[in-house]
Amino acid sequence: MSKKITRYAVVGAGGRVVNFIDPIVSRFSANNELVGMCDTNQGRLDWHNKRLVNELKYHAVPTYLAGDFDRMIKETKPDVVIVTTVDAYHHEYIIRAMKLGCDAITEKPMTIDDKKCRAIFDAIKATGRRLRVTFNYRWAPGTTLVKQLLVKGTIGEIVSADMEYMLNTSHGADYFRRWHREKEKSGGLMVHKSTHHFDLVNWWLDAVPQQVFGYGKLAFYGRENARKRGVKVKYDRYTGHDTKGDPFALKIDGSQGGYMLDLYHKTEKYDGYIRDRNVFGDNITAEDTMSVLVKYRTGVALTYSLNAFLPREGFHIAFNGTKGRLEYNEEHGSHVVEGKKASSPEGHELNWKSRCVVHPMFGKAYEVEIPKAEGGHGGSDPLLAEQIFSPRPPKEKWGRNAGQGQGAASILIGIAANKSFVTNKPVDIAKLCPQLGKAKKLSDLV
Ligand X SMILES: NC(=O)c1ccc[n+]([C@@H]2O[C@H](COP(=O)([O-])OP(=O)(O)OC[C@H]3O[C@@H](n4cnc5c(N)ncnc54)[C@H](O)[C@@H]3O)[C@@H](O)[C@H]2O)c1
Q: Which is nearer to ligand X, 66 or 219 (CB)?
A: 66
What are the residues facing 103 on neighbouring strands? 80
**Which one of 8, 9, 10, 11 is in contact with ligand X (CB under 6 A)?**
11
For the CB of residue 375, give the shortest distance to ligand X in the complex, in Å: 12
**Which one of 13, 149, 173, 429 is in contact with ligand X (CB under 6 A)?**
13
**Number of neighbouring beta carbons within 10 Å of residue 63:** 18
Q: Does 172 bind ligand X (CB under 6 A)?
A: no
The beta strand positions in 185-242, using DSSP E, are: 209-217
Q: x/- string (CB under 6 A) for ligand X, residues 200-229?
A: ------------------------------
**What's 186's DSSP letter?**
H
For ligand X, the binding residues in 258-287 under the rule CB under 6 A are 273
**Which one of 66, 301, 310, 446 is in contact with ligand X (CB under 6 A)?**
66
What angle, 0 to 180 degrees and rounded to 10, lies between the N-to-C axes of helices 194-205 and 404-423? 120
Q: Which is nearer to ligand X, 135 or 319 (CB)?
A: 135
Q: Does 87 bind ligand X (CB under 6 A)?
A: yes
- Residue in 373, 264, 369 with CA at minimum distance from that of residue 44: 264
Q: The sheet that has 6-11: what strands, in order across it?
A: 63-65, 32-39, 6-11, 80-83, 103-107, 131-134
Q: Does 183 bind ligand X (CB under 6 A)?
A: no
**Which one of 10, 86, 189, 358 is in contact with ligand X (CB under 6 A)?**
86
Q: Does 290 bind ligand X (CB under 6 A)?
A: no
**Number of neighbouring beta carbons within 10 Å of residue 264:** 23
For the CB of residue 299, give the shortest distance to ligand X in the complex, in Å: 30
* Residue 49 vs residues 44, 54, 150, 162, 392: alpha-carbon distances, Å: 9, 9, 44, 45, 29
For the CB of residue 315, give the shortest distance to ligand X in the complex, in Å: 14
Q: Does 14 bind ligand X (CB under 6 A)?
A: yes
For the CB of residue 400, give the shortest distance to ligand X in the complex, in Å: 13
Q: Output the residue with the shortest Cβ distance to ligand X.
A: 14
- Residue in 135, 74, 78 with CA at minimum distance from that of residue 102: 78
Rounded-to-10 torsion of CA 434, 439, 443, 444: -90
Q: Does 199 bind ligand X (CB under 6 A)?
A: no
- How many angstroms separate the CA atoms of 390 and 382, rounded? 11
Q: Does 89 bind ligand X (CB under 6 A)?
A: yes
Q: Does 85 bind ligand X (CB under 6 A)?
A: yes
Give the range of 34-42, 152-160, 329-337, 422-430 binding ligand X by CB under 6 A.
34-42
Give the range of 5-13, 22-30, 143-151, 245-253 binding ligand X by CB under 6 A.
5-13
Strand 63-65 and strand 6-11: the pairing is unpaired
Give the range of 35-43, 306-314, 390-398, 433-441 binding ligand X by CB under 6 A.
35-43
**Which one of 377, 419, 430, 446 is in contact with ligand X (CB under 6 A)?**
377
For the CB of residue 29, give the shortest distance to ligand X in the complex, in Å: 22
* Residue 53 vs residues 25, 26, 43, 46, 48: alpha-carbon distances, Å: 11, 12, 16, 11, 9
Q: Does 169 bind ligand X (CB under 6 A)?
A: no
Give the range of 23-31, 70-78, 84-92, 231-239 binding ligand X by CB under 6 A.
84-92
Q: At residue 398, what are phi and psi to the nearest 5 degrees?
A: -110, 10
For the CB of residue 269, give the shortest distance to ligand X in the complex, in Å: 13
- Residue in 27, 19, 15, 305 with CA at minimum distance from that of residue 136: 19
- How many angstroms separate the CA atoms of 403 and 132, rounded? 4
**What's 164's DSSP letter?**
E
For the CB of residue 102, give the shortest distance to ligand X in the complex, in Å: 16
For the CB of residue 180, give the shortest distance to ligand X in the complex, in Å: 8
Kindly list the residues in this chain that would bind ligand X in the complex (CB under 6 A).
11-16, 39-41, 44, 66, 84-87, 89, 107-108, 136, 192, 273, 377
